[in-house]
Amino acid sequence: MNQSLSNDTIIALSSGQGRAGVSVLRISGPQADLFLKTYCRGAVPEPRMSALRWIYDEDEQRVDQALILRFVGPDSFTGEDVIELHCHGSLAVVDEVLRLACLLPGFRIAERGEFSQRAFENEKLDLVQIEGISDLIESTTTKQMQQAARFLSGDASSRIEAWRKQILEASAYLAASIDFSDEGDVGESPHGPVLDLLSELETEFTSALDRSEKASRVRDGIRVAIMGAPNVGKSTLMNLLAERDAAIISDIAGTTRDVLEVSLVLNGVPVLLADTAGIRETDDPIEAEGVRRARKWAAEADIRLFLSEIGDDTSKPETDIDLWIGTKADLPRNTDQPFDVKISATTGEGIDALKSQLSNRVAELTSLSEAPSIVRRRHQSAIEQAIDALRSARALLTENDDVDLAAFELSLARTALDQILGRVDVEDILGEVFSGFCVGK
């Protein structure tokens, strides 16, 4: 953020857009109290004490009666002086309050995510916590909400900070071996403690990467592909799982030409369910393109459901799948096909069993034994860099006894962790992070 802009006093609507019972407008900056002194009568409220005040315009006309909350920096969300105006949720009231504020010197409308960016710049929150705010705002399921709250609370940041201190400890051992090796103040094998720390950290980093895959699925959702030959019941199954008529059902083979996606929630996790084109050889260029897209979508899916009509021994999965489903179970047919579950859209047979198996698979892909430390791709990339640096440091110590280069590799590992927290080299990602926020956050 430009320094001149950060010295401005900013205002924005922090609650949802549109009419509401109450709208909250937030002011932050060095001149925050000026709004109250200019447009409200009575003494400025004491910090963290609510007060009821009328807001008047420049012509002394009443605008609205608002509940005022005042926070004095650095004890505020942004670390600056902050005012919250809890007004009636009228569009006219909100627009008028914003207009009045912008008449004051040094006031302007906040940019997207600027309140959170000021909190980051004033060291009230690190970048992982800021991202937790974004994920919490965007959460649509219980598990997403709970995971985002862990990041916002600082659980992940504390773990990363602990790793950083361990690397500093290892660096201190190496420094001791350099500075005092001629004085007999260190043991004959000074690298032993360092190698133990590096091994412990590498194990923890690898475990964090493994957990991040499940955490990412909670955040980004699970992709489930419904595959099979034409007219086998894929669209019917999608409608049953979505509990609405999302896909067109027809006896004409090849009705579904493109990938049709529907969102639902299973076990507190968002799921993107895809009805794909029937897989078969065809001379129809449009249907062929649908088959190509179906295979591509399925290849990138987390869970693949393959449908075959019971008794059709020619219909078998082409690739690895998670569940093989036999359809039209109400018809009297014999088969030796090893289906995971048999269903009938007509009678409802097997539908509950299928939903149970699908829910269990979603749980397996997302269940976490402990809170994740990293979740985003940039976190994963930084941890991978840290692992490479630790491995290089260990090799330098064990194979070459090169303490200086090993110490340099440890500094690279520490820098990678600092990048996750937003302490170094993050200017290129700050714009992306904060642009995803609403103006009032």
Alpha helices in 122-190 (DSSP H): 127-138, 142-153, 155-179
Cα–Cα distance for residue pair 68/64, rounded to 1 Å: 12
- How many Cα atoms are found within 13 Å in the side-chain-facing hemisphere of 402? 12
* 210-225 as b/e: b if 16+ CB within 10 A: ebbebbbbbbbbbbbb
Q: Which residues of 52-77 are buried (b: 16+ CB within 10 A; e: fewer)?
A: ebebbeeeeeebbebebbbbebeebb
Q: Helices H, strands E: what count in the chain?
A: 14, 12
Helix (H, G, I), strand (E, B) or coil at 38: helix
Fill in the DSSP letter of residue 259: -
| Tokens describing residue 7 | 């010295």
CA dist 35 and 45 (Å) reads 12
Q: Is 61 helix (H, G, I), strand (E, B) or coil?
A: coil
Strand 260-266 vs strand 269-275: parallel, antiparallel, or unpaired? antiparallel
Known binding-site residues for Mg(2+) equal: 235, 256
The backbone torsions φ and ψ at residue 118, rounded to the nearest 5 degrees and listed phi first, read: -65, -35
Q: Tokens for 216, please give them.
A: 């990412």
Show Cβ contacts of residue 386 under 8 Å, excluding neighbours closer than 6 positions: 201, 205, 412, 413, 416, 417
Rounded to whole angstroms, the Cα distance separating 358 from 67 reads 49
Residue positions forming the annotated binding site for GTP? 231-236, 250-256, 275-278
Binding residues for K(+): 231, 250, 252, 255
Which residues line the annotated binding site for (6S)-5-formyl-5,6,7,8-tetrahydrofolate?
26, 84, 124, 441
Binding-site positions: 26, 84, 124, 231-236, 250-256, 275-278, 441
Token digits of residue 374: 């990293």
What's at 353, amino acid-wise? A
Query: In this structure, what token pair is assigned to residue 417?
Result: 């962790």
Contact 267, 355 (CB under 8 A): no
Contact present, 398 and 189 (Cβ < 8 Å): no
User: Cβ(141)–Cβ(268) under 8 Å?
Assistant: yes
DSSP 40: B
Return the closest-CA partner of residue 95 out of 53, 64, 116, 71.
64
